[in-house]
Chains A and B, each alone.
Chain A
């Protein structure tokens, strides 16, 4: 059995927006194993980004703790790669230099130069090395963001709706890229998504969150062997099952006579 990479224990995060407290996360507990692919789904505002930021160390919980390989997360580190919800490329750098940014930031660029073209090939951006972010499409920009995070060889990759704004073909393409990476590098990944199909297609486990306060309501194991067929019977069953839960979980309590 592979070891636990990430442990989240009794984490709470309350935001104060000036007037009232917003319980963005309440009593979150989660353990992620090495090489595991975990998806987090849940309606908008249930604290998915907040959770990912805590794991990244970009934000701190009010109580509880987060551990990566048994050491407490106290701040951001290149070992926890992050692909942001909005595209956060450095627009003054070319594709190539964006991807190399992590190496340069860590002063290890000169000895790792050849990695840049390897990651450009990995995300299929050959021929666009010298383009600037505003000259490439949204899907390409997301692939740059993924390559930029991967080049640091993180222990865990955090992806915040990296495919939110993409068409379904580009989406499927990036999904397969992620599966390739999972297989080749045995990289632990946590993906935030709104898309149930995407979660089933990719994940070992799916975490369902509910809003106000942000909680984990259920964790579902996905036992379908890879590569998964989107039309397969198990896939469709699980999807129906999940949509029901998702619907129940995200709906406000309704009066009984409603239907």
Chain B
């Protein structure tokens, strides 16, 4: 009886895995069997070590890898029961993604229906990676370094001043207006100063990211500290806590949810500032890559950079989300 049931759910689950990847399978079939109609599509070939790859074939391999990936994810989530529902939920969307890729390839590559060179097909975008993956990686690392340094300094600086503003009335009196006024100015407005005052463009861009992250983090940290109920301080004092304890073991943990709210919104601002700064005066980075590609009308490279950004930034968001989930684990089940 029990056995029969697991076999049944197993079969049902296999159908979902199949459904998930069917879209991508269709996209591969479309690429193979629909003849190339538009004449000006050039199926360039690139040498990867000893074997030569055309961009169409690279696109098929890419789709094939996606299929393998989603099958692997499917099997993995089948083994972890709490992940099953999520996989099933996403099946429709993933199917649609595959179909969309197929349609895009049909109109973008086979028919060249969209205005060129602004809207290339998927294979053409892959070409950017085949052509200069080393250069893209270099620029990605530049962006990552800039972001990591600027954002972590922004968090340290923001949380630090936020604690001071929230805790000391005098600091609040003098700094809160500064914070409120400077906070409404988009960080890029400081660009002219940043680029002249700082010795290198890199340090100038770090400065811009720091100030754009500073405002939301500092003001939400201060709010969190200030909203700590007096009764919690009273409780800590009757337990023998001194001022340092009240600040770091009561006020700061109490402010933690708000500190993370600040960090999340600072995160989004920081991405914008990062890309803007790179587009307007950095010797590297994804923004810089977009800008130089645009000059050569290489829009497929612009799309490639956008895709890298999307992946990179969402990974960073996921990372921050995971840290937040860990630090605020006491909230689990308390808030949605």
Give A residues with C-beta under 8 Å from B: 53, 56, 58, 75-78, 80-82, 84, 86, 88, 90-94, 101-102, 104-106, 132, 134-135, 148-149, 152
Residues of A with C-beta under 8 A to B245: 105
B contacts with A: majority SS: helix
Q: Assess the A105–B334 pair: CB atoms within 8 A.
A: no
Query: Please, which residue of chain A has its CB at the minimum distance from the CB of B256?
Result: A92
A contacts with B: majority SS: loop
Residues of B with C-beta under 8 A to A152: 239-240
Residues of B with C-beta under 8 A to A135: 333
Residues of A with C-beta under 8 A to B145: none
Interface size on B, residues (CB 8 A): 21
Contact with A along B234-276 (1 / 0, CB 8 A): 1111111110010001100110100000000000000000000
Q: Assess the B333–A58 pair: CB atoms within 8 A.
A: no
Q: In the complex, A149 Cα to B245 Cα: how many Å?
A: 16
Q: Assess the A82–B235 pair: CB atoms within 8 A.
A: yes
Q: Assess the B254–A78 pair: CB atoms within 8 A.
A: no
Q: In the complex, A93 Cα to B254 Cα: how many Å?
A: 11
Q: Rank and list the top 8 A-B pairs by shortest CB-CB distance, nearest first.
A: A78-B240, A105-B241, A102-B239, A76-B237, A82-B238, A88-B235, A106-B240, A92-B253
Q: Assess the B239–A88 pair: CB atoms within 8 A.
A: no
Residues of A with C-beta under 8 A to B238: 56, 58, 76-78, 80-82, 149
Interface residues of B in 315-336 (CB under 8 A from A): 330, 332-334
Residues of B with C-beta under 8 A to A91: 330, 334
Give B residues with C-beta under 8 Å from A: 231-232, 234-242, 245, 249-250, 253-254, 256, 330, 332-334
Closest Cβ–Cβ distance, residue B165 to chain A (whole Å): 21
Residues of A with C-beta under 8 A to B235: 82, 84, 88, 90
Residues of A with C-beta under 8 A to B333: 134-135
Q: In the complex, A82 Cα to B240 Cα: how many Å?
A: 11
| Residue in contact with A84 in the complex, picked from B231, B253, B332, CB distance below 8 Å | B231
Q: In the complex, A169 Cα to B285 Cα: how many Å?
A: 67
Closest Cβ–Cβ distance, residue A91 to chain B (whole Å): 6
Q: Assess the B249–A104 pair: CB atoms within 8 A.
A: yes
Q: Assess the B232–A88 pair: CB atoms within 8 A.
A: yes
Residues of B with C-beta under 8 A to A81: 238
| Residue in contact with B330 in the complex, picked from A106, A132, A148, CB distance below 8 Å | A132
Q: In the complex, A20 Cα to B333 Cα: how many Å?
A: 44
Residues of A with C-beta under 8 A to B231: 84, 86, 88
